[in-house]
Structure 1
Protein backbone atom coordinates (compact mmCIF):
# COMPACT_ATOMS: atom_id res chain seq x y z
CA UNK A 1 0.00 0.00 0.00
CA UNK A 2 1.48 3.36 -1.00
CA UNK A 3 0.92 6.99 -0.18
CA UNK A 4 -1.70 8.44 -0.34
CA UNK A 5 -3.64 5.18 0.18
CA UNK A 6 -1.61 4.31 3.29
CA UNK A 7 -2.20 7.72 4.87
CA UNK A 8 -5.87 7.68 3.91
CA UNK A 9 -6.42 4.17 5.24
CA UNK A 10 -4.69 4.95 8.53
CA UNK A 11 -6.82 8.03 9.09
CA UNK A 12 -9.99 6.15 8.13
CA UNK A 13 -9.30 3.36 10.62
CA UNK A 14 -8.56 5.84 13.40
CA UNK A 15 -11.67 7.88 12.54
CA UNK A 16 -13.77 4.71 12.63
CA UNK A 17 -12.47 3.90 16.11
CA UNK A 18 -13.21 7.42 17.35
CA UNK A 19 -16.66 7.24 15.74
CA UNK A 20 -17.40 4.08 17.73
CA UNK A 21 -16.30 5.75 20.95
CA UNK A 22 -18.39 8.84 20.19
CA UNK A 23 -21.39 6.72 19.28
CA UNK A 24 -21.14 4.81 22.56
CA UNK A 25 -20.72 8.01 24.54
CA UNK A 26 -23.69 9.69 22.88
CA UNK A 27 -25.81 6.59 23.47
CA UNK A 28 -24.94 6.59 27.18
CA UNK A 29 -25.80 10.27 27.50
CA UNK A 30 -29.09 9.78 25.66
CA UNK A 31 -29.98 6.80 27.85
CA UNK A 32 -29.17 8.77 30.98
CA UNK A 33 -31.31 11.71 29.92
CA UNK A 34 -34.17 9.39 28.95
CA UNK A 35 -34.05 7.56 32.30
CA UNK A 36 -33.55 10.50 34.63
CA UNK A 37 -35.23 13.25 32.61
CA UNK A 38 -37.00 13.84 29.32
CA UNK A 39 -35.27 13.19 26.00
CA UNK A 40 -36.85 15.30 23.28
CA UNK A 41 -33.95 16.13 20.94
CA UNK A 42 -31.29 14.43 18.87
CA UNK A 43 -28.26 13.72 21.05
CA UNK A 44 -26.16 12.76 18.03
CA UNK A 45 -26.65 16.22 16.53
CA UNK A 46 -24.87 17.73 19.54
CA UNK A 47 -22.20 15.08 19.94
CA UNK A 48 -21.24 15.01 16.28
CA UNK A 49 -20.12 18.64 16.45
CA UNK A 50 -16.85 17.16 17.73
CA UNK A 51 -16.30 15.84 14.21
CA UNK A 52 -15.60 19.39 13.04
CA UNK A 53 -12.71 19.75 15.48
CA UNK A 54 -11.41 16.31 14.54
CA UNK A 55 -11.41 17.31 10.87
CA UNK A 56 -9.50 20.46 11.82
CA UNK A 57 -6.94 18.36 13.70
CA UNK A 58 -6.50 16.02 10.73
CA UNK A 59 -5.91 19.01 8.47
CA UNK A 60 -3.25 20.40 10.80
CA UNK A 61 -1.52 17.02 11.16
CA UNK A 62 -1.59 16.44 7.41
CA UNK A 63 1.05 19.14 6.98
CA UNK A 64 2.83 19.44 10.32
CA UNK A 65 3.28 15.71 10.88
CA UNK A 66 3.20 14.03 7.49
CA UNK A 67 4.84 16.57 5.17
CA UNK A 68 8.31 16.38 6.77
CA UNK A 69 8.04 12.61 7.11
CA UNK A 70 7.25 11.96 3.46
CA UNK A 71 9.61 14.60 2.05
CA UNK A 72 12.43 13.20 4.17
CA UNK A 73 11.75 9.79 2.57
CA UNK A 74 12.01 11.04 -1.00
CA UNK A 75 8.52 12.34 -1.81
CA UNK A 76 8.72 15.76 -3.45
CA UNK A 77 6.67 18.65 -2.13
CA UNK A 78 4.69 18.71 -5.35
CA UNK A 79 3.90 15.00 -5.05
CA UNK A 80 2.95 15.42 -1.41
CA UNK A 81 0.72 18.40 -2.19
CA UNK A 82 -1.14 16.53 -4.93
CA UNK A 83 -1.55 13.34 -2.95
CA UNK A 84 -2.49 15.12 0.27
CA UNK A 85 -5.24 16.85 -1.72
CA UNK A 86 -6.47 13.41 -2.80
CA UNK A 87 -6.42 12.29 0.83
CA UNK A 88 -8.45 15.32 1.95
CA UNK A 89 -10.89 14.93 -0.95
CA UNK A 90 -11.65 11.32 0.00
CA UNK A 91 -11.45 11.65 3.78
CA UNK A 92 -14.07 14.40 4.12
CA UNK A 93 -16.87 12.33 2.51
CA UNK A 94 -15.83 9.34 4.63
CA UNK A 95 -16.42 11.42 7.77
CA UNK A 96 -19.74 12.62 6.35
CA UNK A 97 -20.83 9.01 5.85
CA UNK A 98 -19.99 8.20 9.47
CA UNK A 99 -22.11 11.16 10.60
CA UNK A 100 -25.03 10.05 8.43
CA UNK A 101 -24.85 6.48 9.72
CA UNK A 102 -24.89 7.83 13.28
CA UNK A 103 -28.11 9.71 12.56
CA UNK A 104 -29.69 6.58 11.09
CA UNK A 105 -28.71 4.46 14.09
CA UNK A 106 -30.09 7.09 16.43
CA UNK A 107 -33.32 7.27 14.40
CA UNK A 108 -33.75 3.52 14.78
CA UNK A 109 -33.11 3.63 18.52
CA UNK A 110 -35.43 6.59 19.04
CA UNK A 111 -38.11 4.87 16.96
CA UNK A 112 -37.95 1.74 19.11
CA UNK A 113 -38.16 3.84 22.27
CA UNK A 114 -40.99 6.02 20.93
CA UNK A 115 -38.87 9.20 21.14
CA UNK A 116 -38.81 12.22 18.85
CA UNK A 117 -35.49 12.89 17.07
CA UNK A 118 -35.96 16.67 17.01
CA UNK A 119 -33.15 18.83 15.62
CA UNK A 120 -31.95 21.83 17.61
CA UNK A 121 -30.33 23.97 14.89
CA UNK A 122 -30.75 24.85 11.23
CA UNK A 123 -29.73 22.23 8.67
CA UNK A 124 -30.02 21.52 4.99
CA UNK A 125 -32.16 18.54 5.96
CA UNK A 126 -35.49 18.60 7.77
CA UNK A 127 -35.19 15.02 9.01
CA UNK A 128 -32.01 13.16 10.03
CA UNK A 129 -33.09 10.29 7.77
CA UNK A 130 -32.79 12.46 4.62
CA UNK A 131 -29.43 10.85 3.90
CA UNK A 132 -28.44 12.73 0.69
CA UNK A 133 -28.92 16.11 2.38
CA UNK A 134 -27.19 14.94 5.55
CA UNK A 135 -24.21 13.83 3.46
CA UNK A 136 -24.18 17.09 1.50
CA UNK A 137 -24.25 19.28 4.60
CA UNK A 138 -21.57 17.47 6.54
CA UNK A 139 -19.38 17.00 3.48
CA UNK A 140 -19.31 20.77 2.93
CA UNK A 141 -18.81 21.50 6.62
CA UNK A 142 -16.13 18.90 7.37
CA UNK A 143 -14.21 19.57 4.16
CA UNK A 144 -14.00 23.25 5.11
CA UNK A 145 -12.78 22.47 8.62
CA UNK A 146 -10.22 20.05 7.21
CA UNK A 147 -8.69 22.53 4.75
CA UNK A 148 -8.84 25.29 7.37
CA UNK A 149 -6.68 23.03 9.52
CA UNK A 150 -4.28 22.37 6.68
CA UNK A 151 -3.84 26.11 5.99
CA UNK A 152 -3.25 26.88 9.66
CA UNK A 153 -0.97 23.87 10.16
CA UNK A 154 1.09 24.78 7.11
CA UNK A 155 1.45 28.40 8.27
CA UNK A 156 2.59 27.42 11.75
CA UNK A 157 5.02 24.85 10.35
CA UNK A 158 6.59 27.44 8.07
CA UNK A 159 6.48 30.60 10.19
CA UNK A 160 6.08 29.43 13.81
CA UNK A 161 4.22 32.20 15.65
CA UNK A 162 3.56 33.93 12.34
CA UNK A 163 1.07 31.17 11.69
CA UNK A 164 -1.37 33.11 13.87
CA UNK A 165 -2.00 35.28 10.82
CA UNK A 166 -3.50 32.24 9.10
CA UNK A 167 -6.09 31.67 11.83
CA UNK A 168 -8.48 34.36 10.51
CA UNK A 169 -8.10 32.79 7.04
CA UNK A 170 -9.08 29.40 8.43
CA UNK A 171 -12.02 30.93 10.27
CA UNK A 172 -13.07 32.64 7.05
CA UNK A 173 -13.11 29.35 5.16
CA UNK A 174 -15.26 27.77 7.85
CA UNK A 175 -17.62 30.76 7.99
CA UNK A 176 -18.06 30.59 4.22
CA UNK A 177 -18.95 26.90 4.35
CA UNK A 178 -21.26 27.28 7.36
CA UNK A 179 -23.03 30.18 5.65
CA UNK A 180 -23.45 28.08 2.52
CA UNK A 181 -25.44 25.51 4.47
CA UNK A 182 -27.38 28.16 6.37
CA UNK A 183 -25.77 27.91 9.81
CA UNK A 184 -23.51 30.14 11.89
CA UNK A 185 -20.08 29.47 13.36
CA UNK A 186 -20.26 29.70 17.14
CA UNK A 187 -16.84 30.00 18.70
CA UNK A 188 -16.00 28.31 22.01
CA UNK A 189 -15.41 30.57 25.01
CA UNK A 190 -17.18 33.41 23.13
CA UNK A 191 -20.77 32.47 23.82
CA UNK A 192 -22.31 35.63 22.37
CA UNK A 193 -20.31 35.72 19.13
CA UNK A 194 -21.78 33.97 16.11
CA UNK A 195 -20.18 34.45 12.70
CA UNK A 196 -22.01 34.03 9.44
CA UNK A 197 -22.68 35.55 6.03
CA UNK A 198 -26.07 36.39 4.57
CA UNK A 199 -26.04 34.34 1.39
CA UNK A 200 -28.99 33.14 -0.70
CA UNK A 201 -29.90 29.54 0.03
CA UNK A 202 -30.13 27.29 -3.02
CA UNK A 203 -28.53 23.96 -3.97
CA UNK A 204 -26.29 25.64 -6.55
CA UNK A 205 -25.08 28.34 -4.16
CA UNK A 206 -24.54 25.84 -1.36
CA UNK A 207 -22.54 23.47 -3.53
CA UNK A 208 -20.62 26.28 -5.20
CA UNK A 209 -19.57 28.02 -1.99
CA UNK A 210 -18.67 24.72 -0.36
CA UNK A 211 -16.50 23.71 -3.30
CA UNK A 212 -14.94 27.17 -3.48
CA UNK A 213 -13.97 27.08 0.21
CA UNK A 214 -12.42 23.63 -0.18
CA UNK A 215 -10.45 24.41 -3.34
CA UNK A 216 -9.30 27.80 -2.02
CA UNK A 217 -8.06 26.13 1.17
CA UNK A 218 -6.12 23.53 -0.81
CA UNK A 219 -4.61 26.25 -3.01
CA UNK A 220 -3.52 28.32 -0.01
CA UNK A 221 -1.97 25.28 1.63
CA UNK A 222 0.02 24.54 -1.52
CA UNK A 223 1.26 28.13 -1.75
CA UNK A 224 2.64 27.83 1.77
CA UNK A 225 4.28 24.41 1.47
CA UNK A 226 5.50 24.37 -2.14
CA UNK A 227 9.01 25.50 -1.14
CA UNK A 228 8.90 25.19 2.63
CA UNK A 229 12.22 24.03 4.16
CA UNK A 230 12.18 21.01 6.42
CA UNK A 231 12.69 21.91 10.05
CA UNK A 232 14.89 20.05 12.50
CA UNK A 233 13.05 18.77 15.50
CA UNK A 234 14.66 18.48 18.93
CA UNK A 235 15.76 14.97 19.77
Structure 2
Protein backbone atom coordinates (compact mmCIF):
# COMPACT_ATOMS: atom_id res chain seq x y z
CA UNK A 1 0.00 0.00 0.00
CA UNK A 2 1.72 3.16 -1.20
CA UNK A 3 1.86 6.09 1.16
CA UNK A 4 1.65 9.06 1.06
CA UNK A 5 0.99 9.24 -2.70
CA UNK A 6 -2.19 7.15 -2.69
CA UNK A 7 -3.56 8.79 0.45
CA UNK A 8 -2.75 12.26 -0.87
CA UNK A 9 -4.31 11.61 -4.28
CA UNK A 10 -7.49 10.17 -2.76
CA UNK A 11 -7.90 13.10 -0.38
CA UNK A 12 -7.18 15.67 -3.10
CA UNK A 13 -9.80 14.08 -5.36
CA UNK A 14 -12.34 14.17 -2.53
CA UNK A 15 -11.42 17.78 -1.71
CA UNK A 16 -11.95 18.73 -5.35
CA UNK A 17 -15.43 17.22 -5.38
CA UNK A 18 -16.35 18.90 -2.09
CA UNK A 19 -15.00 22.23 -3.37
CA UNK A 20 -17.10 22.01 -6.56
CA UNK A 21 -20.28 21.37 -4.58
CA UNK A 22 -19.35 24.06 -2.06
CA UNK A 23 -18.72 26.59 -4.82
CA UNK A 24 -22.06 25.88 -6.49
CA UNK A 25 -23.94 26.31 -3.20
CA UNK A 26 -22.07 29.52 -2.38
CA UNK A 27 -22.78 30.93 -5.84
CA UNK A 28 -26.48 30.12 -5.54
CA UNK A 29 -26.55 31.93 -2.19
CA UNK A 30 -24.76 34.88 -3.78
CA UNK A 31 -27.31 35.13 -6.58
CA UNK A 32 -30.20 34.76 -4.12
CA UNK A 33 -28.87 37.62 -1.99
CA UNK A 34 -28.48 39.82 -5.08
CA UNK A 35 -31.99 39.03 -6.34
CA UNK A 36 -33.92 39.18 -3.08
CA UNK A 37 -31.77 41.62 -1.12
CA UNK A 38 -28.71 43.83 -1.44
CA UNK A 39 -25.31 42.37 -2.21
CA UNK A 40 -22.48 44.56 -0.91
CA UNK A 41 -19.76 42.13 0.17
CA UNK A 42 -17.93 39.01 -0.93
CA UNK A 43 -20.06 35.99 -0.03
CA UNK A 44 -17.09 33.69 -0.65
CA UNK A 45 -15.22 35.46 2.15
CA UNK A 46 -17.86 34.45 4.67
CA UNK A 47 -18.13 30.96 3.19
CA UNK A 48 -14.43 30.31 3.79
CA UNK A 49 -15.19 29.86 7.47
CA UNK A 50 -16.44 26.38 6.57
CA UNK A 51 -13.34 24.85 4.84
CA UNK A 52 -11.24 25.29 7.98
CA UNK A 53 -13.52 22.74 9.69
CA UNK A 54 -13.06 20.45 6.71
CA UNK A 55 -9.28 20.81 7.22
CA UNK A 56 -9.67 19.98 10.92
CA UNK A 57 -11.47 16.73 10.15
CA UNK A 58 -8.90 15.82 7.50
CA UNK A 59 -6.38 15.94 10.35
CA UNK A 60 -8.67 13.82 12.51
CA UNK A 61 -9.07 11.22 9.75
CA UNK A 62 -5.31 11.09 9.27
CA UNK A 63 -5.02 9.56 12.73
CA UNK A 64 -8.39 7.98 13.37
CA UNK A 65 -8.71 6.19 10.03
CA UNK A 66 -5.31 5.97 8.36
CA UNK A 67 -2.86 5.47 11.25
CA UNK A 68 -4.18 2.01 12.20
CA UNK A 69 -4.75 1.10 8.54
CA UNK A 70 -1.23 1.82 7.38
CA UNK A 71 0.47 0.40 10.46
CA UNK A 72 -1.55 -2.79 10.00
CA UNK A 73 -0.17 -2.95 6.43
CA UNK A 74 3.44 -2.84 7.52
CA UNK A 75 4.28 0.84 8.07
CA UNK A 76 6.17 1.71 11.24
CA UNK A 77 4.91 4.56 13.37
CA UNK A 78 7.99 6.57 12.46
CA UNK A 79 7.35 6.03 8.75
CA UNK A 80 3.72 6.99 9.13
CA UNK A 81 4.63 10.13 11.08
CA UNK A 82 7.13 11.30 8.47
CA UNK A 83 4.86 10.53 5.53
CA UNK A 84 1.81 12.08 7.20
CA UNK A 85 3.85 15.27 7.62
CA UNK A 86 4.60 15.24 3.88
CA UNK A 87 0.91 14.69 3.12
CA UNK A 88 -0.17 17.63 5.28
CA UNK A 89 2.57 19.84 3.83
CA UNK A 90 1.21 19.18 0.32
CA UNK A 91 -2.49 19.02 1.15
CA UNK A 92 -2.72 22.39 2.90
CA UNK A 93 -1.47 24.40 -0.10
CA UNK A 94 -3.79 22.43 -2.38
CA UNK A 95 -6.76 23.49 -0.24
CA UNK A 96 -5.47 27.06 -0.25
CA UNK A 97 -5.29 27.03 -4.05
CA UNK A 98 -8.93 25.93 -4.22
CA UNK A 99 -9.98 28.90 -2.08
CA UNK A 100 -7.93 31.23 -4.27
CA UNK A 101 -9.76 29.83 -7.29
CA UNK A 102 -13.08 30.43 -5.54
CA UNK A 103 -12.22 34.10 -4.98
CA UNK A 104 -11.14 34.54 -8.62
CA UNK A 105 -14.33 32.96 -9.95
CA UNK A 106 -16.37 35.13 -7.62
CA UNK A 107 -14.50 38.21 -8.87
CA UNK A 108 -15.39 37.27 -12.43
CA UNK A 109 -19.06 36.85 -11.50
CA UNK A 110 -19.17 40.14 -9.58
CA UNK A 111 -17.49 42.05 -12.42
CA UNK A 112 -19.93 40.68 -14.99
CA UNK A 113 -22.94 41.45 -12.78
CA UNK A 114 -21.61 44.81 -11.56
CA UNK A 115 -21.72 43.88 -7.89
CA UNK A 116 -19.30 45.32 -5.28
CA UNK A 117 -16.91 42.65 -3.94
CA UNK A 118 -15.98 44.31 -0.64
CA UNK A 119 -14.28 42.43 2.20
CA UNK A 120 -16.03 42.47 5.57
CA UNK A 121 -13.01 41.87 7.81
CA UNK A 122 -9.27 42.34 7.95
CA UNK A 123 -7.01 40.01 5.97
CA UNK A 124 -3.43 39.75 4.85
CA UNK A 125 -4.78 40.72 1.44
CA UNK A 126 -6.58 43.93 0.53
CA UNK A 127 -8.26 42.51 -2.57
CA UNK A 128 -9.57 39.02 -3.47
CA UNK A 129 -7.39 39.19 -6.59
CA UNK A 130 -4.17 39.54 -4.58
CA UNK A 131 -3.43 35.87 -5.22
CA UNK A 132 -0.10 35.41 -3.33
CA UNK A 133 -1.45 36.90 -0.10
CA UNK A 134 -4.80 35.13 -0.38
CA UNK A 135 -2.92 31.87 -0.84
CA UNK A 136 -0.58 32.59 2.10
CA UNK A 137 -3.38 33.48 4.51
CA UNK A 138 -5.32 30.29 3.92
CA UNK A 139 -2.16 28.18 3.80
CA UNK A 140 -1.25 29.29 7.33
CA UNK A 141 -4.81 28.73 8.47
CA UNK A 142 -5.10 25.25 7.00
CA UNK A 143 -1.74 24.14 8.39
CA UNK A 144 -2.91 25.16 11.87
CA UNK A 145 -6.32 23.50 11.63
CA UNK A 146 -5.02 20.23 10.15
CA UNK A 147 -2.29 19.71 12.76
CA UNK A 148 -4.74 20.63 15.51
CA UNK A 149 -6.98 17.86 14.17
CA UNK A 150 -4.15 15.31 14.11
CA UNK A 151 -3.09 16.21 17.65
CA UNK A 152 -6.55 15.97 19.18
CA UNK A 153 -7.39 12.82 17.22
CA UNK A 154 -4.16 11.20 18.43
CA UNK A 155 -5.04 12.01 22.04
CA UNK A 156 -8.56 10.60 21.70
CA UNK A 157 -7.27 7.50 19.87
CA UNK A 158 -4.76 6.76 22.61
CA UNK A 159 -6.64 7.80 25.74
CA UNK A 160 -10.28 7.86 24.54
CA UNK A 161 -12.15 10.04 27.05
CA UNK A 162 -8.86 11.40 28.31
CA UNK A 163 -8.47 13.05 24.93
CA UNK A 164 -10.75 15.83 26.18
CA UNK A 165 -7.65 17.29 27.82
CA UNK A 166 -6.17 17.80 24.35
CA UNK A 167 -8.87 20.25 23.30
CA UNK A 168 -7.39 23.38 24.99
CA UNK A 169 -3.90 22.92 23.49
CA UNK A 170 -5.53 21.97 20.17
CA UNK A 171 -7.48 25.22 20.18
CA UNK A 172 -4.22 26.92 21.16
CA UNK A 173 -2.63 25.66 17.93
CA UNK A 174 -5.51 27.11 15.97
CA UNK A 175 -5.24 30.43 17.81
CA UNK A 176 -1.53 30.54 17.01
CA UNK A 177 -2.23 30.11 13.32
CA UNK A 178 -5.03 32.67 13.30
CA UNK A 179 -2.92 35.17 15.24
CA UNK A 180 -0.13 34.79 12.67
CA UNK A 181 -2.43 36.22 10.01
CA UNK A 182 -4.10 38.74 12.31
CA UNK A 183 -7.65 37.58 11.76
CA UNK A 184 -10.34 36.25 14.11
CA UNK A 185 -11.34 32.81 15.30
CA UNK A 186 -15.00 31.91 14.91
CA UNK A 187 -16.19 28.85 16.79
CA UNK A 188 -19.79 27.79 17.42
CA UNK A 189 -21.33 30.52 19.63
CA UNK A 190 -17.87 32.07 20.15
CA UNK A 191 -15.99 34.74 18.22
CA UNK A 192 -12.45 35.54 19.35
CA UNK A 193 -11.02 38.71 17.78
CA UNK A 194 -7.32 38.43 17.02
CA UNK A 195 -6.95 41.56 14.90
CA UNK A 196 -3.65 43.29 15.30
CA UNK A 197 -2.95 47.02 15.00
CA UNK A 198 -1.36 46.51 11.58
CA UNK A 199 -1.40 43.78 8.97
CA UNK A 200 1.25 41.14 9.81
CA UNK A 201 4.28 41.03 7.54
CA UNK A 202 4.41 38.21 5.03
CA UNK A 203 7.45 36.66 6.70
CA UNK A 204 5.77 36.90 10.12
CA UNK A 205 2.68 35.11 8.85
CA UNK A 206 4.74 32.46 7.09
CA UNK A 207 6.94 31.90 10.14
CA UNK A 208 3.85 31.59 12.31
CA UNK A 209 2.33 29.01 9.97
CA UNK A 210 5.50 26.93 9.77
CA UNK A 211 6.01 27.15 13.52
CA UNK A 212 2.44 26.04 14.18
CA UNK A 213 2.87 23.18 11.68
CA UNK A 214 6.08 21.91 13.30
CA UNK A 215 4.74 22.32 16.83
CA UNK A 216 1.56 20.43 15.98
CA UNK A 217 3.53 17.60 14.39
CA UNK A 218 5.82 17.35 17.41
CA UNK A 219 2.84 17.24 19.79
CA UNK A 220 1.16 14.56 17.67
CA UNK A 221 4.32 12.48 17.39
CA UNK A 222 4.80 12.52 21.16
CA UNK A 223 1.48 10.65 21.39
CA UNK A 224 1.61 8.24 18.44
CA UNK A 225 5.28 7.24 18.63
CA UNK A 226 4.40 4.13 20.67
CA UNK A 227 0.59 4.13 20.55
CA UNK A 228 -0.94 0.61 20.59
CA UNK A 229 -3.41 -0.28 17.85
CA UNK A 230 -6.97 -0.45 19.09
CA UNK A 231 -9.67 -2.89 18.16
CA UNK A 232 -12.06 -0.89 15.93
CA UNK A 233 -14.97 -2.49 17.80
CA UNK A 234 -13.67 -1.29 21.15
> Normalized against structure 2, the TM-score is what?
0.96
Would the aligned equivalents of 2:4 and 2:86 in 1 still touch at CA under 8 Å? yes
User: Please, which moves more after superposition, 200-209 or 215-224?
Assistant: 200-209
What secondary structure sits across from 1:217 in the alignment? Answer: helix
Q: CA distance change for structure 1 residues 230 and 199 in 2, over 3 Å: closer, same or farther? A: farther
Q: How far, CA to CA, are the matches of 1:112 and 1:64 in structure 2?
A: 45
Structure 1 residue aligned with 2:49: 49
Counterpart contact for 2:103–2:128, Cα < 8 Å: yes
Q: What are the superposed Cα offsets for residues 197-228 of structure 1, whole Å, 9 maximum, x if unpaired?
A: 86972222211111101110011111110100
Q: What is residue 214 of structure 1 aligned with on the other side? A: 213
SS across alignment from 1:65: helix
1:116 aligns with 2:116: yes
| Alpha-carbon displacement from aligned partner over 1:151-194 (angstroms, at most 9, x marks no partner) | 0000000000111111111111111111111112122123xx41
Mapping 1:22-37, distance limit 5 Å: 22-37=22-37
TM-score (norm 1): 0.95
Q: Deviations over 1:49-101 (max 9, x none)?
A: 11100000000010011000010111111110010000000000000000000
Distance (Å, rounded) in 1 between the aligned partners of 2:114 and 2:83: 47
**2:172 equivalent to 1:172:** yes
* More divergent stretch after superposition (135-144 vs 179-188): 179-188
Q: Give the structure 1 partner of residue 58 of structure 2.
A: 58
Do 2:140 and 2:209's aligned partners in 1 also have CA atoms closer than 8 Å?
Answer: yes
Long gaps (5+) in structure 1 = none
Q: CA deviation at 1:195?
A: 5.3
- Count residues with an aligned counterpart: 233
Question: Following superposition, which runs of at least 4 residues in structure 1 exceed 6 angstroms of deviation?
Answer: none
Q: Distance in 2 between matches of 1:65 and 1:231?
A: 11
* Separation (CA, whole Å) in 2 of partners of 1:52 and 1:199: 24
Q: Deviations along 1:27-49, whole A, 9 cap, x unmatched?
A: 10001111111111101111121
State the secondary structure of the residue aligned to 2:51: helix
On the 8 A contact 1:176/1:196 being kept in 2, the answer is no
| SS of structure 2 residue aligned to 1:186 | strand
CA RMSD after TM alignment: 1.5
Pair 1:73 & 2:64 matched: no
Give the Cα separation in 1 of the matches to 2:169 and 2:193: 13
Query: What are the ranges of 5 or more consecutive residues in structure 2 without an aligned counterpart?
Result: none
